[in-house]
Amino acid sequence: MQAGGGGVQGEIFGADGLIVLVVALVTLVIPIWALIDSISRPTGAFAAAGSSKGMWITLIVLFWLFTGIVGVVLSIVYLASIRPRVKAVMI
């Protein structure tokens, strides 16, 4: 045990562990949010917005599963760019 009294708990839940936890949660939550949102929107709204529902679902799932970070980036692009256009068409 260390003299500082941090012990095992300090080593497991230190600043590095917290950063890893936050990054892991972000890379899990953002693509799931993008997928749920894209699946719940009607296909016609995507077509009216000039995009494809199937394409976005496929891109997010494949790149998230096989590359991780690219899927997260595509999810952010969907949420920031495509989602507002689809949502505007639905109103």
Q: If 0-12 CB within 10 Å is exposed, 13-18 middle and 19+ buried, where does residue 25 land?
A: exposed
Nearest-angstrom CA–CA distance, 53 and 41: 8
Q: What is the mean pLDDT of the chain?
A: 87
pTM: 0.79
Question: H helices of the chain, where?
Answer: 7-12, 15-40, 43-48, 53-66, 69-77, 83-90
Measured distance between the N- and C-terminal CA atoms of the chain, rounded to whole angstroms:
61
pLDDT at 1 over 50: no
Domain boundaries, the chain: 29-90
Nearest-angstrom CA–CA distance, 62 and 66: 6
- Per residue in 51-90, pLDDT tens? 999 999 999 999 999 998 999 999 999 999 999 999 999 8
